[in-house]
Structure 1
Amino acid sequence: MSTDRSEERTPLVDLQCKAHTYPDGTVGMHEVDFSVYPDEVVALVGGNGAGKSTLLEHLNATLVPDKGELVVDGTAITEDNKAHARKAVGFVFQDADTQLVAPTVLDDVLFGLQNYGMAGEEAERRAREALATVDAAHLEDRVPHYLSGGEKRLVGLAGVLVLEPSVVVLDEPLAGLDPERSRLVADRIRQIHEEGISVVLSTHDLEFAAEVADRVCVMADGNVVGNGTPREVFYDDELLERANLHPPAAIRVARDAGLDTGARPVTEADLVALLSDRGAPSETIRAESLDGSSGD
């Protein structure tokens, strides 16, 4: 299954990866054709070892294909211009500690600007604006490594936003976070998308993917095996089975309750709306959906 969302637009990022093999001989990806377009949120889903992190790390030239090409903002990326990819495509790693390097949060956000030759009051203004964008201005004097997991994720996000990228990439942005911190990070993702930045993220949380993504790409065995809107992907049982995934809770509850799923609810809000239209006991079904799990 594939949905063409290009509509003759030029992609911000275009990756053609015939193969990527790790030094130990493990094949990370093969025959991948992946693009990111303006004004979209793309979620990568798939089981462990499917290749999600490998694909993400190719988008800003952290990894490069053995065979293939990466084009960012119309520029083919080579060994000589990887900095272009890393400025245009901001990467927030799952382990935020890997990108927190300075003694204070403000210094950490300034680090990227200083690498590109910007210093002084203008750099500090942009760093503080980036922290304010992710609701982390109050952290600027804190020591990064003493922050909570969610706070570190927000500071890492500020550190890429300060470079004014066209695309932000997040590897498992909710991993290890409690529900409140997960909500805060999810809200910030929606906010930066509303400000015109495209977002690519990987996640095991299909409820989260259904909530935030315009497009879902399913990975299995190092390849993108399906691509479409959440309603297209999450109702494709054959595709989900191939990737060892279960549908989001809203779909499972709707089916278990014998509801007409012609409207294809994929989120809790969709399910509640469907139940409200039927005059069904939505509070009971909502509670059941909240207790569900993505099962992957």
Structure 2
Amino acid sequence: MSQDESPLVYLQCGAHTYPDGTVGMHDIEFSVYPDEVIALVGGNGAGKSTLLEHLNATLVPDDGELVVDGTPITEENKAHARKEVGFVFQDADTQLVAPTVLDDVMFGLQNYGVPGDEAKGRAREALTTVDASHLEDRIPHYLSGGEKRLVGLAGVLVLEPRVVVLDEPLAGLDPERSRLVAERIHQIHEDGISVVLSTHDLEFAAEVADRVCVMADGNIIGRGTPSEVFYDDVLLDEANLHPPSSVRVARDVGLDATVQPVTEDDLVALLTDIAVDSETIQTRSLDGSGHD
């Protein structure tokens, strides 16, 4: 990721007000750059879903603009935003509409006029990408929550977007299904697609994100790398969030404040290094090799 590049998506939103008068978001400026994963974190009602739905023009700001891959989005060219920015909804049933999984993944391509055999081939490739080829003849309604999430992701990837947006991708999933979805997110990022996701799970955000944006009351109140955000107690308190467990453990064991692990793997590696160094010092002291 380099922010010297032009953003793939740029959103400026002075406000978005729902029909009942609720202000879902205000004073937002948000960009997505090539080759990055962004996690939006915050409590219920913070505005995460509202922001995400602006990124592909599902919602439009009352006052502001959306620019996708250099093109300002208007009522006339919303299709451009929806092709370049694929959206996987939290409730996967809202985007699973066809009688079989394969038909469902082909659906978007057929809307764009892609011939049947080509659409079928590309749909199978997309299912392979998310490790869901074995589901192609299944009826979407009878899939598990995790399987539906993967099929929804395949239906987005088949259109070859520059950015994939996922609203609470782990919501309602058991640990094994969560792991599978997280692995697929890593995979699509490695394939060169930028990812924006919302999550309540700060452990997950620490694992996958290059940047974290903290939301509260319809606004972004802080942003930065995972270590910058998750070691900022004032910011997390303002958003009513608790830091990931690795951050809490690092503080509890008194690690140097300049060392800031945010994931379990980071913490284990760091503590292992400290243990090895300590053992080496003790061994040298006992055998006298530490003296001239």
Does the alignment reach a TM-score above 0.5? Answer: yes
How far did residue 6 of structure 1 move? Answer: 5.4
Give matches, 1:73-152, under 5 Å: 73-152=69-148
Q: How many residues align?
A: 276
What letter is aligned with 1:179?
A: P
CA RMSD of aligned residues (A): 1.0
Distance 1:248 1:192 in 2: 24
Q: Which moved more, 1:114-123 or 1:16-25?
A: 114-123
TM-score after normalising by structure 1: 0.92
**Which residue in 1 is equivalent to 2:36?**
40
The answer to whether structure 1 residue 269 and structure 2 residue 273 are counterparts is no
Are 2:174 and 1:181 equivalent residues in the alignment? no
What TM-score comes out, normalization by structure 2 length? Answer: 0.93
The structure that has the greater radius of gyration is: 2
Between the aligned partners of 1:120 and 1:272, the Cα distance in structure 2 is 50
Aligned to 1:108, the other structure's residue is in SS state helix
Partner of 1:25: 21
For 1:80, what is the secondary structure of its paired residue? helix
Deviation of residue 262 (structure 1)?
A: 2.1
- SS of alignment partner, residue 81 of structure 1: helix
SS in 2 for 1:252: helix
Give unmatched runs, 5+ long, in structure 1. 281-296
- Post-superposition Cα deviations, 1:11-46, rounded to whole Å, max 9, x if no partner, equal 000000000000111000001000000000000001
1:250-281 CA-partner distances (Å, limit 9, x unpaired): 0111212223342101000111111111218x
What is the letter of the counterpart of residue 116 of structure 1? Y
**Paired position in structure 1 for 2:203:** 207
Measure, in 2, the Cα distance between the counterparts of 1:34 and 1:70: 10
Instruction: Please name the residue that 1:191 is paired with.
Output: 187
User: What amino acid is aligned across from residue 106 of structure 1 in structure 2?
Assistant: L
Unaligned runs of 5+ in 2: 277-292
Given the alignment, which residue of 251, 267, 274 partners 1:278? Answer: 274
Misfit runs of 4+, over 3 Å: none
For each residue in 1:229-253, what CA deviation from the matched residue of structure 2 results, as whole angstroms up to 9, or x when unmatched? 0011101111111111011000111
d(CA) in 2 for partners of 1:108 and 1:18? 36
